[in-house]
Structure 1
Amino acid sequence: MPTPLVAVRVALTLAGLTLACAPSWSAQSPVAAASSVSETSFAVPIAAQLQAGAKVAQTCAACHGLDGNATSTEFPKLAGQHVDYLIKQLHDYRIAKGASHPARVNAIMNGMAATLTDAQIRDVALYYSRQTFRPGVAFADKKEIKLGQSIWMAGIPDRAVPACAACHGPSGEGMPSRYPRIGGQWQGYLETELQMFRNDRRTNSPEMHDIASRMTDRQISAVADFAAGLRARSERSR
């Protein structure tokens, strides 16, 4: 039987968060330029924007929770996620001008994003980014956790897979405008997304597809489990 992950302090020798050191979001992407948004632009959002975002979030609550802390492992936690990343993903769910299909395909989210204005996308992203994130807990045996930690901190050299921490940070906090927070995210969600990147079912990050394509099922599962308990593990060890 899997045992709860033992708290350990992750060495803070690497800096960088989605998985495996891939720039799944660049501040110079066409979507960012088109929507003219920047995380630094919303350092102090006005109350009206947060109120508007909270209103939009009511339609998202069934899956993601009103405060962005989804209770089902099927849906990602959005609380505390970087504004620019949330905006980029919502735009990717829509069909861009001149495109025949959205950059990111999801039967539910494609329909939801299509109904939102650019302002609503901005406001709901601001709202969720300022909610308190509740990290998850990882459950795996020591051998699998050791494998996940190794991939997170050092990558998989013989498969040319870079360390996740190089982009997503040692504690999985990510980097505004570039890499999303994944530390403390649901293990099941992270594993599913990596599988989708690998199998060309999620196509809005060529870098993540390239990395995931060189990972085995076991490696994906192990690093997803490690990431799921990463922030909780760091906090418990303080």
Structure 2
Amino acid sequence: MNNRFIAAAAGLFLAGASLPALAVDGDIEAGEQKASTCIACHGAQGNSTNPEWPSLAGQPAEYTVHQLKLFRDGGREDPLMSSQAAPLSDEDIRDLAVYYEAQEAKHHEADEELAERGKLIYRGGLPNEGVAACIACHGPAGEGIKGAKYPRVGGQHAEYMRKALREYRDGERDSDPNRMMRDIASRMSDEDIEAVTEYMTGLHR
């Protein structure tokens, strides 16, 4: 088996296992009120109806806090999100994060044939290419890992995830710690990306 694959898989597993799950101290009710301006893009209760925009429902609060702070502080740039996050206080961000984490994520129907190939990648990686299994960081049902800032991918729009993976692969997105996602995506073909995201969009718990 590819030694690079073994090292990557072990590193991802240990990264997730070694981090404590630190609860985000936020107010769900306050977050619901503050989320009123987010509905236009991210949908009611955080379930986006636009496949190009991510759903936030069920997203681990730690991940949402991290991403919103990146947008606010310039670590991640997007014309729309950067401007929306700019006025948010740390308290606002915590409240939004715990509100969205508490919402139930909807899942989507997936193309069974394409998703079957994606399942193999998600659960077993691509050993010959040095791509570790997605399940190590994103969980059996794509639920993400609290405390480790690994996002929920189960039920996320396939189109959005394809765009994200291609941006990581092409160096257009660099907000991933230790280049983790850029390194993984750089070894994936368009066909790999299409298959694994089709599987992830149908995952749910």
Q: TM-score, normalised by structure 2?
A: 0.85
The letter for the 2-side match of 1:132 is: E
Name 1:86's counterpart in structure 2: 64
Looking at structure 2, the residues matched to 72 and 89 of structure 1 have their Cα atoms a distance apart, in angstroms, of 20
Query: Contact 2:72 / 2:88 at 8 angstroms: preserved in 1?
Result: no
Superposed displacement of residue 51, structure 1:
2.5
Looking at structure 2, the residues matched to 82 and 120 of structure 1 have their Cα atoms a distance apart, in angstroms, of 16
The letter for the 1-side match of 2:195 is: A
Q: 1:209 aligns with which of 179, 182, 191?
A: 182
- Deviations 1:8-31 (CA, angstroms, capped at 9, x unpaired): xxxxxxxxxxxxx6969x969xxx
Looking at structure 1, the residues matched to 31 and 44 of structure 2 have their Cα atoms a distance apart, in angstroms, of 11
Q: 1:112 aligns with which of 84, 95, 105?
A: 84
Corresponding residue SS for 1:181? coil
Distance 1:228 1:41, change over 3 A: closer
The one of the two structures with greater contact order (alpha-carbon pairs below 8 A, sep at least 6) is 1
- Across the aligned residues of Structure 1 and Structure 2, the Cα RMSD in angstroms comes to 2.1
Looking at structure 2, the residues matched to 64 and 27 of structure 1 have their Cα atoms a distance apart, in angstroms, of 29
Looking at structure 2, the residues matched to 135 and 65 of structure 1 have their Cα atoms a distance apart, in angstroms, of 14
Asked if residue 172 in structure 1 is aligned to residue 150 in structure 2, the reply is no
Superposed displacement of residue 147, structure 1:
2.0
The letter for the 2-side match of 1:75 is: W
| Structure 2 counterparts to residues 10-29 of structure 1, below 5 A | none
Name 1:224's counterpart in structure 2: 197
| Structure 2 counterparts to residues 52-67 of structure 1, below 5 A | 52-67=30-45
- Stretches of structure 1 lacking an aligned partner (at least 5 in a row): 1-20, 29-37, 96-101
Asked if residue 68 in structure 1 is aligned to residue 41 in structure 2, the reply is no
Superposed displacement of residue 171, structure 1:
1.3
Superposed displacement of residue 86, structure 1:
0.3
Query: Contact 1:57 / 1:66 at 8 angstroms: preserved in 2?
Result: no
Aligned length: 189
Q: 1:158 aligns with which of 107, 125, 128?
A: 128
Asked if residue 40 in structure 1 is aligned to residue 13 in structure 2, the reply is no
Query: Contact 1:39 / 1:82 at 8 angstroms: preserved in 2?
Result: no
Looking at structure 2, the residues matched to 107 and 228 of structure 1 have their Cα atoms a distance apart, in angstroms, of 26
- Deviations 1:185-228 (CA, angstroms, capped at 9, x unpaired): 11111111101111111110110011001100110111000110
Name 1:198's counterpart in structure 2: 169
Q: Which has the higher helix share?
A: 2
Structure label with greater radius of gyration? 1
Identity of aligned residues (%): 40
Looking at structure 2, the residues matched to 139 and 216 of structure 1 have their Cα atoms a distance apart, in angstroms, of 19
Q: TM-score, normalised by structure 1?
A: 0.74
Corresponding residue SS for 1:188? helix
- Stretches of structure 2 lacking an aligned partner (at least 5 in a row): 1-11
